[in-house]
Amino acid sequence: MPEAERKRTYFILFVVNFLITFAFGINDSLFSLYMGEIKAGGFIIGLAFTLYSLSKISLSPLAGKLLDRHGAFRIIFSGLILYLLVSIAYYATNDKNLILIVRIMQGSACALFRPVMHYVLGSNAETGKRGKTLGTFDLSFYLALATAPVFGGIIKEYFGFSVIFIIMLICTLSAILLVLFIKNRLTISYRSDKKITSPRHTQPEQLKALYVYIFFKGWAVTSMAMLLPIYMHLIGYKESYIGLTLGLATAATAFSLPITGHLADKARKEIMLSAGGVMSGLLLIVIFSAESMDSFIVSSCMYGFVNAISQPACSSMLIESAQGNALGRSIGRFNSIMGIGASSGALVSSVLYSCSGIFTAVCLSSALSIFGGAFVMHSTSTLLQQETRKNALIR
């Protein structure tokens, strides 16, 4: 792809990713409040979250297969149309039962939308710059996640949910129009246009190691996001301080990504994944042992940074490890497994919190995060040893 066209595609996808993440990040951060306003009970609220997760998890592998078969444009356009219908439905109805259907549609839209980004960018990144490209691009996701709850809270307080739904509609329409500008580029089959190779002879074992890693990372991140507000509230902190702590972790991740993305192109990716998994696991214990606000600020920023260490390396390693014409399928399966890990983490952590206390749930999440990082290092080291022996026999 010519350099000017590559930059144009990158910029448009960056803006599209920000718009969708921002719009639906506002909605998701206040969704429980909205359901309370329309008199939904706890069971309905829990079911709405569950249906969203299940639809996203179950459709992600299919979306990946469709990417390999039909290319990027049809898939991302279908996802954006679903997002548009979801925005209209939120604005047009406040029926609790219909909202459950809308949540299924939203999960399906997410499954169709998210994999396309790494599929397109990873396929067309310059050799030796894939980590930097993916790391910088993820700024659009994390900046949107960090700012959406803040803007959403202000809009809700002064204007109500109807204006939030209008903003969602405007953002989605803008994203659809922007994607139409690069329709021809997205219609091309990227895998046939440019075969992706790894500097080492990658094998399916690497993908399996990544699947194990992302399952436990999804578990740990979700557990931390769910349990930290509870822990801080229990020791007397107000919502503003809780929001600040969570926001700082996201901001630290966002602003570290360009640096760690560049590092992912230079260093061994499995070392970065292992370091990120092990250190984030250890920092979970540190965060949930903190009591002063200074300790929460420092530990949450460190947690955000170590998550950024593994993020670009993981995305780059996933793309390099996909063989033949199975990139879309690998990304779809990867996202599905991450979703299963997140759902499992939320469920098990909530049960452990109720039965054994918050620290038991944190310790389990910490141990699993450390195990995931160690497993990647062990698997890739074993693979390299096998390749070394094989090459020695050939010689």
Q: Select the more confidently predicted residue: 381 or 365.
A: 365
Whole-number percent of the chain with pLDDT over 70: 88
Q: Select the more confidently predicted residue: 199 or 212.
A: 212
Task: State the pLDDT at residue 186.
Answer: 76
Residue whose structure tokens are 């195990």: 371
Task: State the pLDDT at residue 328.
Answer: 77
Q: What is the pTM of this model?
A: 0.78
* SS3 track for 251-290: HHHHHHHHHHHHHHHHCCHHHHHHHHHHHHHHHHHHHCCC
Please list the alpha-helical segments (H only) found in 30-160: 31-37, 42-70, 72-92, 96-124, 130-137, 139-158
Task: State the pLDDT at residue 138.
Answer: 83
- Kindly indicate the confidence band of residue 84, based on its pLDDT and cuts at 50, 70 and 90: very high
Query: In terms of Cα–Cα distance, which of 123, 89, 90 is closest to 13?
Result: 123
Residues 321-372 pLDDT 10s: 775 557 778 888 888 898 888 888 888 888 888 888 889 999 999 999 999 9
- Distance in angstroms (rounded) separating the CA atoms of residues 113 and 115: 6
Note whether 218 and 345 are within 8 A (CB).
yes
Instruction: Name the average pLDDT for the chain.
Output: 83
Task: State the pLDDT at residue 288.
Answer: 92
Residue whose structure tokens are 């992912």: 264
Structural domains of the chain ordered from first start: 3-193 (1.20.1250.20), 204-394 (1.20.1250.20)
Direct distance between the N- and C-terminal alpha carbons of the chain, in angstroms, rounded to an integer? 38
How distant, in Å, are the alpha carbons of 86, 119, 179 from that of 173?
A: 12, 22, 10
- Kindly indicate the confidence band of residue 395, based on its pLDDT and cuts at 50, 70 and 90: low
Q: Is the pLDDT confidence value at 287 over 80? A: yes
- Kindly indicate the confidence band of residue 190, based on its pLDDT and cuts at 50, 70 and 90: very low
Residues 94-127 pLDDT 10s: 888 899 999 999 999 998 888 787 777 767 666 6
Task: State the pLDDT at residue 81.
Answer: 95
- Distance in angstroms (rounded) separating the CA atoms of residues 369 and 363: 10
What is the rounded average pLDDT of the residues 262-277? 86
